[in-house]
Amino acid sequence: MSTLLASAVLWLGAIQRVWGIIIDDPADLPLTSFDYVIIGGGTAGLTLANRLTENGATNVLVLEAGRGNEGDLPMPIPFMGPILSPETQYTWNYTVSPQVGLNLRTFEYPRGRVLGGCSSINYLIRQFGTSEDWDRIANLTAEPTWSWANMKQYVQKYDKIVQPLDGHSITGEYIPALHGFGGNVQASLPELSFPIDARVMATLNQPSSEFQYNNDTVGGDQIVLGVGYVQNSSGEGTRSSAYTGYYLAAAARQNFVILTSATVLKLVQTGTTANGLKSFRSVQYAHGTLTLTVTAIREVILSAGAINTPQILQLSGIGNAVDLRKLNITVLINNPAVGSNLYDHTLLPNIFVVQDAVANQTFDDLLRNQAQIEDQINLWIANRTGLFINNIVNHFGFSRITLDPGEEDPAPGPNSPHYEMIFANLFFEKPGPFRPDEGSYFTVGTMLTSPESTGTVKLASADPLAPPIIDPRYLTEAFDIIAMRESVKAVLRFTAAPAWSDWIAGRFGAAFQNATDDASIDAYVRTLTISDMNPVGTASMSMVDDPSGVVGPDLLVKGADGLRIVDASVFPRSPSTHSQGLVYLLAERTADIIKAAQVSSQPPTNQCNANLLCCGNTETANSASSLLVLLGITVSDGNTIVGLSCTPINVIGVSGNSCTGQAVCCATVESNGLVAINCSPVNLPS
């Protein structure tokens, strides 16, 4: 456990716990079926749940595999972002497969497994995407409402700029007209000035400098190229996430329910529509030793992220038929696009050694000193002062490389970047808080923001609890290695400015020291590049009739009924900026799409054909806590679905029997109605 995390754990009880409607026992669920079941309580999932439950007649259940984050002190502290992953209780602790473009290296690939998802554990940086990012989505889907001209309206719902705690002026650091001031997620400019800030700005002020100041880096109507101040998802010295911004704002609503520690195993087909679409309105999940099922009356919404969403689809029989049959998974919808088209940003930490005369101005010694860390935590708790109210970075910049004539541009347009530089006053390697035992350092991270390389997310086995195979295939396209090479050269030009002459002593590490020409820079890049962990694209949007995508412009899964995907997996290409803000905007827009569909249609009538009972919950006969075992009832197949919480059906005529949104129909009642067997999912005709 890192020094930072160990200190933070001492203070777990320092924040008031807000339980609201978060429950951790399926027996406490107030309903057996909900209008919407959202899989994943992360950035998109909690945003959607908030907006859908604005209508008090709409019931929403969010299934979150992880825990709540109430009272867990590390998460709200902005400076502690780096210690929240990997290998913590808040993450899916994945690894990437050996990467051909990175000398067959593999490394940790954490994803958020906590309420708020990655918005609760990330490095807080937020942007809206460039206008060209959104316009490209509109073009690829032939749906103009995804263009920036339409999407910008959602900034006001999501964004809330707040002033610094000490009231210092941020005039010139951002453009107020680009922002919202009454949205759900707080955003702020840096609370504190760091020792390197003046040097960054002095470099920009050189008369002949190629690096220009940008007075707002958020994107949208503002071109992001240039160097400017980082904007953070935080306010008043505290992280602002989907949990704090969207859940807490709706915590009093009785129609908004969250079940934690609920790991989704698969989606269950509940019928077939008249036009041949397979309906998926039942979700099977594990909670402790129990295997349970919950039903959605209107829709199941997958918001599990770009890694877990394609995993769940494939476990449910939706994916590449060839791959699924190899694992003996019944193919329900053959779509090879599921789990393909994985884009991700790469990150290279370019680390410099700082001169002895200024060594005490970096943060490295502080972060090695337990007593100083605890002092900073105490300041944060007492009155939101001290270093920890700030992110670890204050400035970043975006640039493009020069393309050859006729060369295809992987960026969405000429005003969108190819790479990023980000400036940190410490030794910084991601993921994790590792740093040498001694020395002082300055890091300029370079990130490839418009990659061409694509990879896959595939199942390792049919076991839903087994981690998927994540193969991003980093730097396997020529453009990507060229852009990363040029980003390193840009760092060397930036740090050659006079402002750094009394700060930088030299490069850290042999690979960086030996990077003197194109070939050696490429070798350095392949040796030390890691991921910035912004995966997208694995359930991508496309035109309605385009078989290359997984969802249409309305984010409904192609070939399916009652199933929608709302998370970063639907972006067809990598955004050229940090992706967090785009996911919030995506969820806000999709909430409006769903609400419009609500108005125009009535929920389907659940049909139970000629069976006897409708049951709201289920278990398998061989589960450890099965009532069949307690009742002495034996069935030949241990995987038999057993119905619980059963009631007699209401006959509605020859077309079937009304189940009012329950999960299964059962033909045989046992033990005076305690349980039922011979069950099958209810039919949900369109």
Distance, in Å, from the CA atom of 409 to the CA atom of 415, rounded to the nearest integer, reads: 11
- Residue 107 structure tokens: 């490394």
What does the DSSP 8-state code read for residue 98? P
Q: Are 277 and 557 in contact (CB under 8 A)?
A: no
- Alpha-carbon distance values, 588 to 152, 221, 233, 306, 595 (Å): 11, 19, 17, 18, 11
CA dihedral (558, 564, 568, 574) in degrees, to 10, reads 20
Could you give the 3-state DSSP secondary structure of residue 484?
Answer: helix
User: Which residue bears the tokens 């009304």?
Assistant: 658
CB 238 within 8 A of CB 160: no
Pairing of strands 60-63, 129-130: unpaired
Are the C-beta atoms of residues 643 and 670 closer than 8 Å to each other?
A: no
- SS3 for 62-86 is EECCCECCCCCCCCCCHHHHHHCCC
In this structure, what is the dihedral angle of CA atoms 159, 160, 163, 164, given to the nearest 10 degrees? -70
Name the strand (E) or helix (H) holding 396. Answer: strand 393-399
Distance (Å, rounded) from C-alpha 80 to C-alpha 425?
15
Does the annotation place 162 within a ligand binding site? no
677 phi, psi to nearest 5 deg: -130, -175
**Which single residue is written with the structure tokens 């809330």?**
160
* CB contact at 8 A, 569 and 310: yes
- 132 DSSP assignment: H
- Region of 609 (left: φ > 0; alpha: ψ -120 to 50; beta: rest) is left
Read off the DSSP letter of residue 89. T
User: Exposure of 672 by Cβ count < 10 A (0-12 exposed, 13-18 middle, 19+ buried)?
Assistant: exposed
CB atoms closer than 10 angstroms to residue 52? 25
Other Cβ atoms less than 10 A from the Cβ of 193: the count is 11
Give the separation between CA 356 and CA 291, rounded to whole angstroms.
60
CB-based contact 452:387 (threshold 8 Å)? no
Q: First-to-last CA distance in the chain?
A: 53
Annotation-wise, does 114 bind a ligand? yes
Length of the chain: 686
Binding-site residue numbers are 114, 264
Binding-site sequence positions for FAD = 114, 264
